[in-house]
Amino acid sequence: MSAARTLLLWYDGHRRRLPWRAPPGVLADPYHVWLSEVMLQQTTTAAAAPYYARFLARFPTIAALAAAPEPDVLTAWAGLGYYARARNLHRAAEIVAAHGFPRDPAALARLPGIGAYTAAAISAIAFNVPIIPVDGNIARVLARRHALLAPLPAAMREIRGLARALAADAAAAARPGDFVQALFDLGATVCTPATPDCTRCPWRAGCAGHAAGIAASLPRKIAKKPRPHRYGAHFWLTDADGRVLLRRRPSSGLLGGMAELPGTEWRAEPWSRRSALAAAPMRTRWRRLGEVAHGFTHFTLEITLYAGAVPAIAVPAIAAPGFLCDEEALGAEALSSVMRKCARLAGHAFAGMPARGTPAP
């Protein structure tokens, strides 16, 4: 029995139930596959699942997503991070709504935000194209099965070649979508990063890494450089009506189009109280609430949060991109995860990510 057929037999009895996965024998909705794959970039399955359900309830079709204003899309995405994903998803939906959903991986990869991996995943799972998208799970499984000693990313070229050979197997080619998802499930539930459960693996007999006793150490990776640290100061300013001053970030770049509390730039040197308050939106008695820590892909950020109150906020006079928001309506704003942490530290009962702030002395 071929390796592909062995894995498919295992999958038929052990497939995970996921919100975006079609029932056995049913071809998946390409919109559902696309949305889930975009959400799962840099996000775990457990974290993405509730966002997927809420997003799909708000934008049930590609046409609905394409017709929505971008701020509404960003609001629905708020908390997932990596907001360029939401902006690209929206732009691509506009194209797909107008011209149809391409099935070919090359055509899919021309849509905003869809790279080679996502294009292959959509093609295989939604359109049964015999292609294998190589993500971290699949790379790990194949590196262990073939005992590849070259570290990542150097080993990726050989791993992709092994994936192409698997996709050409008759059993895999007959059920491309199921085979790809079988590989995903094998990596996510059995051939896990730190402690692979080789006793439950359908490929144990043919696994060179298991035979050599080195499966858990594969794939090897080059040590990452430590991420640089940046510092910022932001301001929680309220008026007599309980409204909070927010501003909109530029549409491009990090957290593009998201709402945030006004503040300083993020730089390599810490901000002294004096230098930070020089950037405050208004003069008032500012109280330091503490620090909020947040990790981005390429750097870590530490924000010092200050709080102040004034009778009235003249928005146009102090912050051109600024606007006022009732505290009760903050949940409807496209606040990034780090700004949600700031709101939590300010004492706002916000149903978002918990703050990791350090209370001020």
Regarding beta strands 300-309 and 229-238, do their DSSP bridges make them parallel or antiparallel, or are they unpaired? parallel
How many residues appear in the chain?
361
**Residue 325: which residues within 8 A CB-CB, separation 6 or more?**
243, 244, 246, 259, 333
- 50 Cβ partners below 8 Å, 6+ apart? none
Per DSSP, the residues of 68-85 read S-HHHHHHHHTTS--THH
Q: What are phi and psi of 300, to 5 degrees?
A: -105, 150
Record the tokens describing residue 244, joined without a space: 């909070």
Indicate the residue type of 84: A
Query: Is the confidence at residue 205, as pLDDT, over 60?
Result: yes
pLDDT at residue 252, rounded to an integer: 79
* pLDDT digit string, tens, across residues 114-165: 999 999 999 999 999 999 999 999 999 999 999 999 999 999 999 999 999 9
Residues in CB range of 287: below 8 A, 6 or more apart: 306, 307, 308
Residue type, 153: P
DSSP structure class, residue 245: E
> What's the confidence (pLDDT) of residue 104?
92
Task: Output phi, psi for 87, to 5 deg.
Answer: -65, -40
Average pLDDT on 206-212 reads: 97
Helix (H, G, I), strand (E, B) or coil at 265: coil
DSSP assigned state of 284:
S
- What one-character DSSP code corresponds to residue 27? P
More confident residue, 327 or 63: 63
Pairwise CA distance, residues 184 & 16, whole Å: 10
| Rounded-to-integer distance, Cα 263 and Cα 247, Å | 9
- Give the dihedral of Cα atoms 275, 280, 284, 286; nearest 10 deg: -60
Catalytic residue at 37?
yes
Q: Give percent of the chain with pLDDT exceeding 70.
A: 95
What residue ranges define each of the domains in the chain, with the CATH number in brackets? Answer: 3-217 (1.10.340.30), 229-359 (3.90.79.10)
> What are the tokens at 241?
């009506």
Mean per-residue pLDDT over the chain, rounded:
91
- Cross-strand pairs, 246: 323
Q: What confidence category does residue 319 fall into, taking pLDDT thresholds of 50, 70 and 90?
A: low
Could you give the 3-state DSSP secondary structure of residue 184? Answer: helix
- The answer for residues whose C-beta is within 8 angstroms of residue 223's C-beta and 6 or more apart is none
Quickly state the pLDDT bin for 253 (edges 50, 70, 90): confident
Q: Is the pLDDT of residue 361 over 80?
A: no
Q: Which tokens belong to 232? A: 């910022």
User: Whose structure tokens read 């998803």?
Assistant: 89
User: pTM of the full predicted structure?
Assistant: 0.77
Query: Distances in Å between the alpha carbon of 213 and those of 92, 147, 158, 198, 217?
Result: 46, 10, 21, 11, 9
pLDDT band (50, 70, 90) for residue 268: very high
Q: Which of 29, 30, 36 is nearest to 53 (CA)?
A: 36
